[in-house]
Amino acid sequence: MIRLVPNHAPAIRRSEKVHFTFDGQSYEGHVGESLVSALTRAGHLSLRGAPVDGAPRGAFCCMGLCQECAVIVDGQVVEACRTDVSADLVVERVR
Amino acid sequence: MSTHHDIAVIGAGPAGGNAALVAARAGLDVVLLDEQPVPGGQVWRGKSPSIHSAPQTPESQSGDALRQALTESAVEQLTDARVWDIRRQDDRWALQVLRNGESHEVAASALILATGAREYVQPVPGWTTPGVIGLAGATALFKQSLTLPGTRTVVSGTGPLVFYVASEIRRLGGEVAAVVTPNTRGEWARALPAMAGQPRLLGRGALWVADLMLARVPILWGHAISEVFGGNSVTGVRARRLGENDPGQEFSADSVCVGHGLIPQIEAAQMLGVHILHDPALGGWVPEVQPDGATRVDGLYLTGDGCGIRGATAAALQGVLTGARVARDMGKSTHMPSLRPWRRAAKFGRAMTALSQPRASVAALTTDETIVCRCESLRRADILAEIAIGAQSTNAVKSGRRAGMGPCGGKYCQTAIAALIAAQTGKPLSEIAPPTPRPPLRPVPLSQAAGDFDYDDLPIPKPAPL
Amino acid sequence: MTQAIPYDIAIIGGGIMGCATALRVAEGGMTAIVLDQGDLGQGASGVNAGTLSLQIKRVKLMPYALRGHHLWEQMGDAVGFAKTGGFTLAFTPREADMLHERQTLKAEAGAPIEFVANNRLRDAEPHLTHKVQAASFCAEDGYANSSLTGRYYRGRLQDANIPYREGCKVTAIKEGAPFELSTPQGTIRATRILLAAGAWLKPLAALLNVDLPVNARVNTVSVTERMPPLIRSVIGHATGLLTMKQKANGTVLIGGGWQGRGTPQEGRGTVDAHTVRPNLALAQYAVPALGSARVLRSWTGFEANVPDFYPLAGPLPGVPGAFVLGCVRGGYTIGPYIGQLMGDSILGREPEMPLFDPGRDFEKDTA
């Protein structure tokens, strides 16, 4: 099939893969990519329950505004879209 | 502890980056702050360190050029820096900046706000399902991480961004289930004259659409997503023809990218006393500002899409204008560039923004049970009930129902709520101002805002009268 | 756009005091209209920290505050009322002395305040710092949600068929029988007027060539996002530099009279990071686990006062038919009650408790 927009995926070189955990489960991510990027690639989209009704929510604006991707790292609520993957990072759900 | 500069620029996108460069070249001491790890803003967002190499795009090339110019310049760059408060302190601006888990103060004689835009998304049933992200959010994922939103994605929304996102998904090896856009081919045809001045951008857009058609991706003109299906994640959508009693068609997908136009981020300017005006052709509420960025507030300048959505090309040109204006105001003999290139680029940008103007047929997709305020899980019916008992302003709805009191601060509900108030009260949108913005500009961990504290330093006041 | 029959009274200022007075005079058979330059209840009535604490009330105002508490309790859920009890903390021996001296006088004035031992404090509030030297407790203390003030009184006025106009700033007042008030929504005529415009009393009275010596404090309040349960009671500090409460929804509200900037005449006040930071630091000092909470919003509200820090409640000097109500220290707590007293007085009835003559000598500490 003719493509006017080429497929660049094979030409992308990424950093090494490391393991991190989210909500007790192990995931793989590339060092330095955002948690949202790594978890999205892993197909794990639900990052927390909505504060009022507990309904599943995930990354939405991906630019640090909407706060839907709030997770906990080192006891502090952070935005998963602005937090980088590193080896053995422990990420928890906001309760 | 405070460092003082001639100029602080907040936002290192096309506008802020160029303003900083021009002012620094005029001999001024400039600090450029941005919350991203590298300059570029949303449109020229830089790659994360996880990307060792990847093919270039026009956006990455423009971004790299800006980043290189900044690196070679005398501009001091503060990246990963979140400005959470700005105040006039005597003859200077005092910025509270969160960086590396600590808050410190940056001071400057002049301040340029280049705060850019955020996205409006019309609420529809299921839009809070994980896997639904904004069109602009999708571009952030592409540019920063070269990551796809899913394996099969429905892309929906207004203006050129919907085609850009669909095309980028294909470029990164993903599958587009459908493109759904409220715009009609007629609307695009009418926008053509304004686009003729930017043939390169016009050509790119034509290529995206042609590629999608060759790949037999369904393009639904005059349509919108009326419902998103799924629980813990998206399983599909329903798309309906607008303005007709159309049962719609369903597409299976594990992800949705959706957006209905960009909105200028005016909160910081508002907090500093800049008057705002309503101009739908520029994305809604815009600050009162001169083309070169000057405002009525002494020492305060605004530039780029934060002044009204005119697009990246115009933003970069306006940044140059603003940098020159500030330099001149600060006593440097600077060449003032012509306004003409900016006006030409702005004409194109305005035509694109016009494609995203609010339309009743899209607003009608929000049902009574649809969540409007994501932070507080408030449904349209909740908002309407508040209006019915007398709330006539976004502030009143905020006070009564907490719509806008959650972590996003109303950024993702106030536009829909203002439209509901206007529809219910019959007032024009220009009379429904956004809610009063409050600092901090972003959520701040309390310990980091508080900083070091010695109890003995507390300034104990005179006891209150007994 | 002049109405045919003048209202019996036009009330300028749709905060707690103006609305409470309107409801009272309407019950007494008067026709009233409430005018506000913004929305109802969006001034100090709607942006204060919502603390209902007898421990921070003035001794002479205690009887008013006790009745105010009773009214808030009656308003209940509609205003987010919660009687949680409140602790006032001292962290140094000097603060402990001050706490003891002041709370003893307030207890004598009728507030059920007691001093509590540390073990009882820790049982009640396990997340509090262990650095507390002394604490007082008042079971009557609690809070209401000031954000709901506007919505609450809008409903009460509607139910009582009292007209109100929002976004209706009075720009000129013509004395006479009746008064004529110029507003963007036309001229409003009323036989009497009540100035109840909080921090804006001074410019408002100036329209009648009366100089009220009203000053405004610019109090700052901050709120965090939802947190797991950390504190159950209203927490205060012996110096007054901290008030803190956790709402049922988990958000923590932090105040303490730290001063922002701006004046009522300029419009809104603005938060000053240099005062917010120590306010937050003191909150974290009291409840260390607050350190990880994210602060979502800080804002300011104007608290009006006159030099003797007692209310203005009575006839406006030199202008027959004009009244003034405001500058009540602890006005959120006392407002609903003193509004009733003001209403009774306007109706020509003897109020249950004395009002506060706006024509008094403000340099003397007598009310």
CATH of the domain at C294: 3.30.9.10
pLDDT tens for B409-463 read 999 999 999 999 999 999 999 999 999 999 999 999 999 999 989 999 888 888 8
Mean pLDDT of B234-243: 96
Tell me the one-letter amino acid at B8: A
CB contact under 8 A, B131 and A14: no
Q: Is residue C61 part of a domain?
A: no
Instruction: Report the chain C residue with the minimal C-alpha distance to residue B399.
Output: C147
ipTM of this model? Answer: 0.97
Out of 1.20.58, 3.30.70, 1.10.3470, 1.10.10, the CATH code matching B366-431 is 1.10.10
**CATH 3.50.50.60 occupies which residues in chain B?**
2-118+263-352, 121-260
Instruction: Tell me how close the Cα of C284 comes to any Cα of chain B, in angstroms.
Output: 7
Neighbours of chain C (3+ CB pairs under 8 A): A, B
Closest CA to C306 of C265, C344, C357: C357
At the topology level of CATH, where does B121-260 sit? FAD/NAD(P)-binding domain (3.50.50)
Regions of chain A where pLDDT drops below 50: none
- In angstroms, the CA C342 to CA C22 distance is 9
Count of pairs with CB atoms under 8 A, one residue in B, one in C: 148
Residue written as tokens 């049902």?
Answer: B367
Would an 8 Å CB–CB cutoff place C161 in contact with chain A? no
Count of structural domains within chain A: 1
Flag whether pLDDT at B464 surpasses 90.
no
DSSP string, A7-68: --GGG-EE--EEEEEETTEEEEEETTSBHHHHHHHTT----EE-TTT--EE---SSSSSS-T
Give burial (CB, 10 Å; 0-12/13-18/19+) of B265. buried
**CATH 1.10.10 occupies which residues in chain B?**
366-431
CB contact under 8 A, B450 and C291: yes
Asked which of A71-75, B169-173, B202-206, C64-68 is least confident by mean pLDDT, the reply is B202-206
pLDDT of residue B114: 98
Q: Is residue C360 part of a domain?
A: no
Q: Is residue A7 part of a domain?
A: no
Least CB-CB distance to C295: which of B436, B440, B465?
Answer: B440
Q: Is residue C135 part of a domain?
A: yes
Flag whether pLDDT at B331 surpasses 70.
yes
pLDDT band at C2 (very low <50, low <70, confident <90, very high): low
Contact C318, C210 (CB under 8 A): yes
Question: Nearest 5 degrees, angle CA C13-CA C19-CA C24?
Answer: 135
CB contact under 8 A, A5 and B170: yes
CATH number of the structural domain spanning residue C175: 3.50.50.60
Contacts 24+ apart (CB under 8 A), A74-78: A75/C292, A76/B445, A76/C292, A77/B443, A77/B445, A77/C225, A77/C292, A77/C294
Flag whether pLDDT at B387 surpasses 80.
yes
A2 is written with which tokens? 């003719």
Mean pLDDT of C326-348: 97
Residue numbers of the domain that contains C37: 7-44+148-214+307-346
Asked which of A8-12, B36-40, C360-364 is least confident by mean pLDDT, the reply is C360-364
Instruction: Tell me how close the Cα of A43 comes to any Cα of chain B, in angstroms.
Output: 7
Would an 8 Å CB–CB cutoff place B411 in contact with chain A? yes
b or e along C55-89 (b: 16 or more beta carbons within 10 Å of the residue's beta carbon)? bbbbbbbbbbbbbbbebbbebeeebbbbbbbbbbb
Would an 8 Å CB–CB cutoff place B374 in contact with chain C? no
Which chain C residues are closer than 8 Å to B402 by Cβ?
147
- In angstroms, the CA B350 to CA B328 distance is 28
Would an 8 Å CB–CB cutoff place C365 in contact with chain A? no
Least CB-CB distance to C284: which of B407, B438, B447?
Answer: B447
Would an 8 Å CB–CB cutoff place A74 in contact with chain C? no
Residue numbers of the domain that contains A63: 15-93
pLDDT of residue B459: 87
Whether residue C221 is found in the same domain as residue C117: yes
Which chain A residues are closer than 8 Å to C225 by Cβ?
77
Q: What sign does the dihedral A37-A39-A40-A41 (CA atoms) show?
A: positive
Flag whether pLDDT at C50 surpasses 50.
yes
Question: How far is CA B301 from each of CA A87, B109, B271, C232, rounded to the nearest angstrom?
Answer: 43, 11, 13, 46
C305 is written with which tokens? 């006062």
pLDDT of residue C363: 84
Which chain C residues are closer than 8 Å to B393 by Cβ?
39, 166
Tell me the one-letter amino acid at B119: E
Contact B156, B350 (CB under 8 A): no
- In angstroms, the CA C344 to CA C24 distance is 7
Q: Is residue A8 part of a domain?
A: no
- Residues contacting B101, CB < 8 A, separation 6+: B448
Mean pLDDT of B288-308: 98
Instruction: Tell me how close the Cα of A39 comes to any Cα of chain B, in angstroms.
Output: 10
Would an 8 Å CB–CB cutoff place B407 in contact with chain A? yes
- In angstroms, the CA C84 to CA C235 distance is 10
Mean pLDDT of B150-154: 98
Out of 3.40.1010.10, 3.50.50.60, 3.30.750.24, 3.30.1330.10, the CATH code matching B2-118+263-352 is 3.50.50.60
Whether residue C154 is found in the same domain as residue C21: yes
pLDDT of residue B79: 97
Whether residue C134 is found in the same domain as residue C219: yes
Whether residue C207 is found in the same domain as residue C333: yes
Contact C47, C218 (CB under 8 A): no
Instruction: Tell me how close the Cα of A65 comes to any Cα of chain B, in angstroms.
Output: 6
Contact B166, B143 (CB under 8 A): no
Whether residue C294 is found in the same domain as residue C325: no
- In angstroms, the CA C24 to CA C321 distance is 17
CATH number of the structural domain spanning residue A69: 3.10.20.440
Instruction: Report the chain C residue with the minimal C-alpha distance to residue A51.
Output: C226
pLDDT of residue C144: 98
pLDDT tens for C154-183 read 999 999 999 999 999 999 999 999 999 999
Asked which of A71-75, B1-5, B262-266, C128-132 is least confident by mean pLDDT, the reply is B1-5
Mean pLDDT of B71-94: 96
Count of structural domains within chain C: 2
Q: Is residue C367 part of a domain?
A: no
Flag whether pLDDT at B229 surpasses 80.
yes
Whether residue C152 is found in the same domain as residue C301: no
pLDDT of residue B2: 60
Would an 8 Å CB–CB cutoff place B128 in contact with chain A? yes
- Residues contacting C143, CB < 8 A, separation 6+: C49, C50, C51, C52, C80, C81, C82, C84, C234, C245, C247, C253
Number of neighbouring beta carbons within 10 Å of residue B227 = 18
Whether residue C256 is found in the same domain as residue C163: no
Would an 8 Å CB–CB cutoff place B253 in contact with chain A? no
Instruction: Tell me how close the Cα of A49 comes to any Cα of chain C, in angstroms.
Output: 13
- Residues contacting B284, CB < 8 A, separation 6+: B120, B263, B264, B278, B415, B429
Q: Is residue A68 part of a domain?
A: yes
Q: At what angle do helices B340-354 and B312-329 cross, to 10 degrees?
A: 140
Whether residue C158 is found in the same domain as residue C293: no
pLDDT of residue B1: 47
pLDDT of residue C365: 59
Would an 8 Å CB–CB cutoff place A16 in contact with chain B? no
B64 is written with which tokens? 């790299």
Whether residue C127 is found in the same domain as residue C238: yes
Q: Which one has a higher pLDDT value, B2 or C1?
A: B2
Would an 8 Å CB–CB cutoff place B461 in contact with chain C? yes
Element (H or E) spanning B324, and its range? Answer: helix B312-329
Least CB-CB distance to B233: which of A46, A51, A62?
Answer: A46
Flag whether pLDDT at C367 surpasses 70.
no
Tell me the one-letter amino acid at C68: G
Flag whether pLDDT at B196 surpasses 90.
no
Q: What is the mean pLDDT of chain B?
A: 96
Q: Is residue A9 part of a domain?
A: no
Q: What is the mean pLDDT of chain C?
A: 96
Number of neighbouring beta carbons within 10 Å of residue A47 = 26
Flag whether pLDDT at C104 surpasses 80.
yes
Least CB-CB distance to C292: which of A51, A75, A95?
Answer: A75
Flag whether pLDDT at B151 surpasses 70.
yes
